[in-house]
Structure 1
Amino acid sequence: MLESEHGPITHEEHAHTRCWVCVLSCLLLACVYVGSLYVWRSSLPRDHPSVIKRRCASVLLVSTLSPAVVKGWIHWADVRVDASVWELMGVRLESLVPAAILPLLLTMVCYLGPLVQSAMDNPKGFTGELQSALDVQSWRLCVGDVVWLRNQVVAPLTEELVFRGAMMPMLVPCTGPTAAIFMAPLFFGVAHFHHIIEQRRLHKDSMSVILLVSGMQFLYTTVFGAFTAFIFMRTGHVVGPVLCHSFCNSQGLPDISSALKHPQQSALVFSYLMGVLLFLVLLFPLTDPFFYGDIPVCSLALPPASVCQMK
């Protein structure tokens, strides 16, 4: 339950200021996260191993310090809750297994079309895809690849911890759970505009093309951020968003145009549509708080908090 030592009158008087501080704190976190990528001056491209290692070290440090920001904000705002900062940020053991499996399953259902297309294009079919996914040697090669580690491990872990785990507990008391789900991704989307700097430095495209690509990236990162913020609020865990983020990074954006040109076009279009339909049908059932126990971050919300309720 949200409480204040100063009573309802002072709480009301300070609500506006408190929420502005919340927004500025989130903006500060986003700026520090992105800024940490550029503390290492280098003329090398972003995929060079030495650049990747330095940047991974930077964002891991920012992620480690993010709980201190949340702790400081909670102390300043006089928020009283029976949960630790780590629990509010979704780092907890209760119901860890369903929190890891069910959101990932939901995301894979959404990617049913691309997964079916990948299996169709594999000479060995679905069996070949399964063998590739379970091949130990392939996993060993991946673990030794710094680009893979950045895209599949470090980026999902640090971004979800900062942009969901740290920001959501600060936003929820001010905006409520539903508004926080749509507000937090804006910081996530804006944070990706730093790629404009990378592209301009390499002079690969014209400024108009770079801005168009960045605008599209802002759109889909914001939509994806809203999805993982929803998962975070419904499960109270950060592990689900991390695994979903990693899976989506591995798959990329669905290539619908190639599906429309595929020899098995009808079957693929059906798979794409069925995946989206099943995703919408299963969205609330698979994220039902019933599977995840008491959700610490929901205790920060003033009633009614419909997103935190079972459906």
Structure 2
Amino acid sequence: MSGVHGGDPGYGLCGVSVLCCLTLACSYVGSLYVWRNDLPRDHPAVIKRRFTSVLIVSSLSPLFLCLWKELTGIKTDAPLLSLMGFRFEGILTATVLPLLLTMVLFLGPLVQLSFDCPWNFIDGLKVAFDPRFWMLCVTDMLWLRNQVIAPLTEELVFRACMLPMLVPCTGSGPAIFTCPLFFGIAHFHHVIEQLRFRQATVISIFLSAAFQFSYTAVFGAYTAFIFLRTGHLIGPVLCHSFCNYIGFPAIFSALDHPRCATILMFYFLGVALFFLMLYPMTDPVLYGDIPVCHLLEKGSAEYHSICS
């Protein structure tokens, strides 16, 4: 059974939803600064302390969703953990397909990396299956932050907890583009640290922050789309980790590459295939009953946009 009972989908509901999301975002970012230190953010000691902070906030974040349900009076037959994307139905496709789709989008950068990589395919497989390689990874604080802790905690807080609160207010489409604003703004705290440690000129720091806000907002909209279409958290987490590893596409270096024409062809091919495959590979039919659909009125246009 789908549908929402209770609550008023007007200014009251939207006000509570936005306030809860804003408080949650501020709590996540604020937790990074509870420790007093004079070290840069990439120092292992700073990273370890911030692990503790964000893991505590992330573990408490479901309470915001519970509070939101109480304040709005919204009742749904979807369990809380299911609304947050923790469920087994469709888990295999939710693990593989969104990550594969993201790799298609990054086909150009992946080809560029393969051209520049000193290893051949067999050597790469040997490294990937070597336990010593993974031991080095898990003992590297930067790797743990970028590939594990940041993707897991940020997707849990900014997607799994915020989207269920925004969807009944704005609908699924606007929620996809509203949620990343909290995510993008949350990354502005990097400006404070860069200014504090004089890592660049003021103008370059703010230009970098504006670019990062734009990039994280677009990326956040994409993972929000994945979360709503699949009803799983695992897909956004894996896509986030993959994108952190690849980084922003090195387009300018591709233009100067000896095999520029081939690389650019794969850049365009990847983008074209991505848009062709976006909806088929995120078809809700592949992922079972989508829990967020229980927050929408059955039969409405918003319900049909993500639930059928």
TM more than 0.5 = yes
Does the CA-based 8 Å contact 2:16-2:72 persist in structure 1? no
Identity of aligned residues (%): 55
Letter in 2 for 1:307: S
Counterpart of 1:166 in structure 2 is 161
Q: For residue 285 of structure 1, report the CA deviation from its aligned partner.
A: 0.8
* C-alpha distance after superposition, 1:176-219 (max 9, x if no partner): 01110010000000000000111011012121111100000000
* C-alpha distance after superposition, 1:88-110 (max 9, x if no partner): 01111111111011000001111
Letter in 2 for 1:84: P
Counterpart of 2:258 in structure 1 is 263
**Residue correspondence of structure 1 range 287-302 to structure 2 within 5 A:** 287-302=282-297
Tell me if 1:143 matches 2:138.
yes
**Number of aligned positions between the proteins:** 304
State which of 234, 238, 246 in structure 2 corresponds to 1:243: 238
Alpha-carbon spacing, 1:5–1:119, altered in 2? closer, same or farther (3 Å) = closer
Does the CA-based 8 Å contact 2:5-2:76 persist in structure 1? no
State which of 95, 99, 109 in structure 2 corresponds to 1:114: 109
Counterpart of 2:118 in structure 1 is 123
State which of 183, 186, 208 in structure 1 corresponds to 2:181: 186
Tell me if 1:34 matches 2:29.
yes
The normalised TM-score by structure 1 is 0.94
The normalised TM-score by structure 2 is 0.95
* C-alpha distance after superposition, 1:192-247 (max 9, x if no partner): 00001110110121211111000000000000000000000000001100000000
**Residue correspondence of structure 1 range 208-287 to structure 2 within 5 A:** 208-287=203-282
Residue segments in structure 1 that go unaligned for 5+ positions in a row: none
Tell me if 1:304 matches 2:301.
yes
Counterpart of 1:64 in structure 2 is 59
State which of 5, 18, 23 in structure 2 corresponds to 1:23: 18
State which of 63, 82, 86 in structure 1 corresponds to 2:81: 86
* C-alpha distance after superposition, 1:10-51 (max 9, x if no partner): x36xx2112111101101110000000000010011111111
Q: Residue 37 of structure 2 aligns to a residue in which SS?
A: coil
Q: For residue 275 of structure 1, report the CA deviation from its aligned partner.
A: 0.7
Q: Residue 83 of structure 1 aligns to a residue in which SS?
A: coil
Residue segments in structure 2 that go unaligned for 5+ positions in a row: none
Tell me if 1:102 matches 2:97.
yes
Does the CA-based 8 Å contact 1:122-1:129 persist in structure 2? no
Distance in 1, matches of 2:126 and 2:101, equals: 22
